[in-house]
Amino acid sequence: MATLELERLVKRYGTVEVIHGVDLAVPSGAFCVFVGPSGCGKSTLLRMIAGLETVSAGEIRIAGRRVNELPAARRGLAMVFQSYALYPHMTVRQNLAFGLENLGTPRAEIARRVAEAARMLRIEELLDRRPKALSGGQRQRVAIGRAVVREPAIFLFDEPLSNLDAELRVQMRIELKALHERLGNTMIYVTHDQVEAMTMADLIVVLSKGRIEQAGPPLELYHRPANLFVAGFLGSPKMNFLPVRPAEGGVRLASGDRLAMPEPALGTEAELTLGVRPEHLALAPAEAGAGLAGRVRLVEHLGAEVHLHVETGAGTLTLRTPGEWAAAAGDRVRVVIPPEACHLFGPDGRVVRSACRGPQRG
Amino acid sequence: MRLAAPLHRLLELVDRPMAALQRRIGPQRFAWIFLLPNLVIFAVFTYLPIVLNFVYATTGGLAVLPSERPFVGLENFASLLDCRDYLDPSSCSKDLFWRSLFNTGRFVVLQVGFMILFSLITALVLNREIRGRGFFRGVFFYPVLLSPVVVALIWKWILQREGVLNAWLVAFGGEPVQWLLDAGWSFFWVVFVSIWAHMGFYMLILLAGLQAIPKDVYEAAEMDAASPWRMLTRITLPLLMPTMLVVVVLALIKGVQTFDEIYVLTGGGPGSATMLVVQYIYETGFAAQPRLYGLAAAASLLLAALLMILTLLQLRANRKSYRG
Amino acid sequence: MASLATSGVLDLVTRTRGKGRLHWTDWLAYGYLLLGLFLMFGPVVWVVLSSFKSEAQLLEFPPTALPYGQVSVAVPGYPEPLPLFRVRMPDGSLREVAQIRRIGIQAQMVDPAAPETILRVDIAGREPVRALSLATENYTALFERFDFLRYLWNSVFITVTATLIMLLVNSMAAFALAKYDFRGRDLVFVLTIATLLIPPTVVLVPVFLVVAKLGLLDTPWGVIWPGAATPTGVFLLRQYMLTIPDELIDAARMDNASEWKIYWRIVLPLAAPALAVLAIFAVMWRWNDFLLPLIVLSRSEQFTLQLALNSFKGEMHTQWGNLLAMTVLTLLPITLVFGFLQRYITTGIATTGIK
Ligand SMILES: Nc1ncnc2c1ncn2[C@@H]1O[C@H](COP(=O)(O)OP(=O)(O)OP(=O)(O)O)[C@@H](O)[C@H]1O
Ligand SMILES: [Mg+2]
């Protein structure tokens, strides 16, 4: 168990800078998820922490100690790789034991730890098989087991579930979370799947183009995104974005409708973006006086909920309502935008007004 | 496959000092430790000799040590190239060099031409669905594995005066022939034996090329009612062309360097009828007294220039084949 | 007729699938292959058969296909077995009698059935009785009179040592070139591959000097070291090691393995298929090597089998028996290796294009 701190961490490949000064503090025992689109530098960051990539500038501290110069093996970490990276020519048992042997651990101790990890991960019957003779999920468990036997201060995971099918992924997600609860170690977990991030993390770090966009607890990020990128990245279906301009006592939509906002002083001529989550929008009958007039373009039935795509004068809006909906494409409706659920983002993408809905700050 | 146990233990033993070394120089620089033995061997036995070759070629005298050899400039090259008529070896001051060069040219054209022809036919036959294909492939390939000395001795035994070939000739009413003592015949046999010894290799590569042609192309052609003749000329051969180019150039490069089997079979004789250029280098530098290292080195540089041209051809052929 | 024949030949080389029963072109194909079998294997078989012939039989012209030896019989009253002859008797009958001794053009013979009477026969009228027999004296003489075992040992030592060194040295370099990212890597790789373009024959003279200066002339090491690192080996192994996932090596690093340990516990075992192919090639190259040993080794006790064969060819111009036996023993190991690994070798060559 250990804290992890990154300070102005930079990674350059030749002249190309791919990580631009990352600052982060992960408390001891936290489950921290790095999430972001492909190519944003998640793996690079993780590999720098692991010691598999050199640090171009900045500092990495584990348990308060600078580890920049320490080789991978001596940072007290263990890593689970996306492709599992099991040694194909060794049995499962040898795979688990290899790292401990290299550390000069006594035989009896190795046997004990391997047996314990195998029991914990339910891979006891597989110990004498080669990786080739295992299913994807079993390989995954062995890869985790290889990290577990090392009893590391920090676990590192690089998209460990991305090679599994959807059902198995859900199951492994739960198991991993349970493992974290049982061991209580600090874990750093890389994924580009926001569902994994939301469900597993104590601390989500959203990365984009080699920078941290926002870091915090999942619901904090969901309800109070610091910028357009985070707002759009988390949540499915995506948050609705509409271009707006400040107006007397609120904002004016592209359709000309005015939306009253309690907080004044938004400047005058700035181009703003209004963001509102699909589940916060409400439908009203076409005859109702309130709301934005629109026409339903597409209805997606998911069973437990319905996604509606409505074309309005202000732009296309996605709505998410529970249950079933009798409407069909072409129906005329009105969309009610609750002002207290709206986020406003400035021209630079930063939030200028957060929604009042959701859990209160603090 | 497990490493042999003693080797295993040896490598384990080396681990400790290696790990200590790694702590001192860091893991990334350790790559140079892995490269070192290979680079040292290359440096000593390849790069240095390449440089030395130029030193030898531009110095004269009989000394082995380059420092004791007087610089003569391009004299060695001049004497090799000193000819009144380049088409007539006997007008050259180093007539043996020119004879060996002419022989090499003649040898390479005949050997490569017929060898590729027969390898192609064999590959085409073996590409059919035939019983025992693996066996026959092995049969044609087997001589490739034999050492040049063994190859030469096998044929020497067959071609000798009281050999089995003459026995057949006599049985069919002919006169025995001294195959290797007649200039024309011995050249024929030198070409024949070297085709015999190397054909399997080229056959194998052509066969791989043939098998890389997708089956559906043939099926499409069959649907188009193409005749066998058209299938061969319009589909198989064009699609095999890239492989063919590579094979021809490879055979040319190897052919120019032929030495061992001919040296053992005929010793270059009778006279100099079957002496090729590598044998000339060997004889000049090592067998003849005095040993003329400078001349041998100059001749080998001329050979290298020739090979360089052929290699460039190969690179072009390769590039074509990747594009095709 | 001619057009029929050409279309037949074409059919022979164009058809890729036999359909149902054998077409006559299939017969032609098998004919071609059988001719090939005869041409490719025949000479080797002939040498093997010949190597079992006695010195006297080797001089016979025309030669017999199979090795024969004269039959001897034990005759009561004579300590040694006597050679058996078929003799036409004055009465015109044929009898098989044993020869006691030869005096001029007369031979003293004895009928094994009636050993008391001695017959005198004109040597022109007798013919040896022969039966199939393998004369092994060609082989035994190699061990008794010639230093065959020494040459064999020299060859085996050079082949095994050079192959092991080469596998080690080349795989280390290949690992560095495949799995490390360091400044100058591409240059090293290009320099390595460039040596492929320098045929060994071209640098013969300076290699001789280097070997001489290192004091390796007339030692097996003078043959081993110049060939201990091959560009082909580096290239082949590197290409193979590129297919080993980087993550595996990272995983080993996280597992506290030193770089050296990663090399021999992870990379070497995983590169085993490529190493095996290369090992077969290396054995073949070394065992058959001729030009380099020829210039490096001049004392006959250092000769490899190939050199010994070459020198015997000159020295023992009449002793074909020993020479043939030695040829057979030299081609035997390669033949055995090929017999067991035929598929492996042929596919190895077809996919890598090296020899
Ligand atoms: N060795 C390298 N040399 C140069 N650029 C590199 C190197 N490795 C990674 N990059 C670049 O660094 C950036 C970040 O790569 P990284 O692998 O960290 O992305 P990622 O967030 O893990 O993406 P993914 O979700 O697809 O795995 C990418 O733009 C990539 O092109
Ligand atoms: Mg990644």
pLDDT in tens, B42-63: 999 989 998 888 888 888 877 7
Q: Are residues A260 and A186 in the same domain?
A: no
- Indicate the residue of B3, B35, B201 with minimum beta-carbon distance to C176: B35
Q: Are residues A32 and A162 in the same domain?
A: yes
Judged by CB atoms closer than 8 Å, whether chains meet at A88 and C270 is answered as yes
Domain containing C281 — which CATH number? Answer: 1.10.3720.10
**In the prediction, which pLDDT does C232 show?**
86
**In this structure, is residue A339 part of a structural domain?**
yes
Regions of chain C short of the pLDDT cut 50: 1-8, 16-18
Distance, CA of B59 to CA of B106 (rounded, Å): 31
- Closest-CA residue, ligand 1 atom 1, reads A13
Judged by CB atoms closer than 8 Å, whether chains meet at B18 and C225 is answered as no
**In this structure, is residue A362 part of a structural domain?**
no
Q: Are residues C219 and C180 in the same domain?
A: yes
**In the prediction, which pLDDT does C17 show?**
47
Q: Are residues A57 and A151 in the same domain?
A: yes
**In the prediction, which pLDDT does A359 show?**
45
**In the prediction, which pLDDT does A266 show?**
61
Residues B17-40: what's their mean pLDDT?
A: 87
Q: Are residues C92 and C175 in the same domain?
A: no
Q: Are residues A221 and A256 in the same domain?
A: no
Distance, CA of A233 to CA of C275 (rounded, Å): 49
Nearest to B150 by CA among C317, C98, A63, C289: C289
Range of the domain at A106: 4-229
| pLDDT confidence bin for B321, thresholds 50/70/90 | low
Q: Are residues C296 and C261 in the same domain?
A: yes
Judged by CB atoms closer than 8 Å, whether chains meet at C50 and B157 is answered as yes
Last residue of a domain, one of A184, A199, A229: A229
**In the prediction, which pLDDT does B322 show?**
53
Give me the DSSP letters along A242-262: EEEEEETTEEEETTS-EEE-S
**In this structure, is residue A361 part of a structural domain?**
no
Judged by CB atoms closer than 8 Å, whether chains meet at C253 and A146 is answered as no
Q: Are residues A225 and A315 in the same domain?
A: no
Last residue of a domain, one of A229, A263, A286: A229
Interface of B with C in 87-116 (CB under 8 A): none
Kindly list the residues from chain B whose CB atom is less than 8 angstroms away from the CB atom of residue C335. 142, 145
Q: Are residues A218 and A319 in the same domain?
A: no
Q: Are residues C166 and C76 in the same domain?
A: no
**In this structure, is residue C61 part of a structural domain?**
no
Q: How far is the CA of A42 from the centre of ligand 1 (A)?
A: 8
Ligand nearest to the CA of A41: 1
- Indicate the residue of C248, C250, C258 with minimum beta-carbon distance to A87: C248
Q: Are residues A97 and A200 in the same domain?
A: yes
A304-307: long-range contacts, CB 8 A cutoff, minimum separation 24? A307/A237, A307/A278
By DSSP bridging, strand A186-191 and strand A31-35 are parallel
- Closest-CA residue, ligand 1 atom 26, reads A38
Ligand nearest to the CA of A37: 1
Judged by CB atoms closer than 8 Å, whether chains meet at A87 and C266 is answered as yes
Q: Are residues C151 and C101 in the same domain?
A: no
Q: All domains of chain B, ordered by start, with CATH?
A: 4-57 (no CATH), 95-323 (1.10.3720.10)
Q: What residues contact residue A197 under an 8 Å CB cut-off, 6+ apart?
A: A33, A35, A191, A204, A218, A234
| Average model confidence (pLDDT) across chain B | 84
Judged by CB atoms closer than 8 Å, whether chains meet at C270 and A89 is answered as yes
In angstroms, what is the C-alpha Rg of chain A?
25
Angle, helix B30-42 to helix C185-194, in steps of 10 degrees: 20
In this predicted model, what pLDDT tens digit does every residue of A192-214 receive, in sequence order?
888 999 999 999 999 999 999 99
Q: Are residues A61 and A196 in the same domain?
A: yes
**In the prediction, which pLDDT does C154 show?**
93
Which tokens go with C339?
């017999």
Range of the domain at C113: 68-132
Domain tally for chain A? Answer: 2
Judged by CB atoms closer than 8 Å, whether chains meet at C254 and A47 is answered as no
Distance, CA of C272 to CA of C278 (rounded, Å): 10
Domain containing A158 — which CATH number? Answer: 3.40.50.300
Q: For residue C252, what is the nearest residue in chain A, using CA coordinates?
A: A99
Give the best residue of C183, C254, C258 to mutate against chain A (max A CB count within 10 A).
Answer: C254
**In the prediction, which pLDDT does A361 show?**
40
Q: Are residues C204 and C235 in the same domain?
A: yes
Contact, A17 vs A210, CB < 8 A? Answer: yes
Q: Are residues A22 and A117 in the same domain?
A: yes
Which tokens go with C94?
């044929």
Nearest to A237 by CA among A266, A202, A276, A210: A276
**In this structure, is residue A316 part of a structural domain?**
yes
**In the prediction, which pLDDT does A108 show?**
94
By most ligand atoms within 8 Å of CB, the mutation choice from A11, A12, A20, A42 for ligand 1 is: A42
Domain containing A334 — which CATH number? Answer: 2.40.50.140
Domain containing C97 — which CATH number? Answer: 2.30.30
Interface of B with C in 48-87 (CB under 8 A): 48-53, 55-56, 64-66
- Indicate the residue of C248, C256, C265 with minimum beta-carbon distance to A103: C256
Q: Are residues C236 and C346 in the same domain?
A: yes
Helix (H) or strand (E) holding B159: helix B148-159
Last residue of a domain, one of C117, C132, C147: C132
**In this structure, is residue C63 part of a structural domain?**
no
Q: Are residues C259 and C295 in the same domain?
A: yes
- Model-level pTM? 0.80
**In this structure, is residue C36 part of a structural domain?**
yes
Domain tally for chain C? Answer: 3
**In this structure, is residue C89 part of a structural domain?**
yes
Q: How far is the CA of A35 from the centre of ligand 1 (A)?
A: 14
Strands of the sheet with A57-62, listed across from one edge: A16-26, A4-13, A57-62, A65-66
Q: Are residues A151 and A262 in the same domain?
A: no
C341-348: long-range contacts, CB 8 A cutoff, minimum separation 24? C341/C280, C342/B134, C342/B138, C342/B141, C343/B134, C344/C276, C344/C277, C344/C280, C345/B141, C345/B145, C345/C280, C346/B137, C346/B138, C346/B141, C346/B204, C348/C277, C348/C280, C348/C281
Q: Which atom of ligand 1 is nearest to the CA of A45?
A: 18
| The total number of residues written for chain B in this structure | 324
Q: Are residues C114 and C195 in the same domain?
A: no
**In this structure, is residue A360 part of a structural domain?**
no
In this predicted model, what pLDDT tens digit does every residue of A262-274 receive, in sequence order?
665 566 667 889 9
Q: Are residues A39 and A61 in the same domain?
A: yes
Q: Are residues C328 and C214 in the same domain?
A: yes
Distance, CA of B30 to CA of B25 (rounded, Å): 7
Give the number of A-C residue pairs with CB atoms closer than 8 Å.
Answer: 58
Q: Are residues C98 and C179 in the same domain?
A: no
Q: Are residues C257 and C221 in the same domain?
A: yes
Q: Which of A45-49, A325-329, B114-118 has the lowest mean pLDDT?
A: A325-329
Nearest to A24 by CA among A230, A220, A212, A233: A212
Beta carbon of A141 within 6 Å of any ligand 1 atom: no
**In this structure, is residue C62 part of a structural domain?**
no
Q: Which atom of ligand 1 is nearest to the CA of A82?
A: 27
B151 min Cα distance to partner chain C (Å): 9
Question: Which ipTM was obtained for this model?
Answer: 0.81
In this predicted model, what pLDDT tens digit does every residue of A70-119 receive, in sequence order?
888 888 899 998 888 899 888 999 999 998 888 888 999 999 999 999 99
**In the prediction, which pLDDT does C352 show?**
64
**In the prediction, which pLDDT does C3 show?**
46
Q: Are residues A248 and A207 in the same domain?
A: no
In this predicted model, what pLDDT tens digit does every residue of A57-73 receive, in sequence order?
999 999 999 999 888 88
By most ligand atoms within 8 Å of CB, the mutation choice from A43, A53, A156, A162 for ligand 1 is: A43
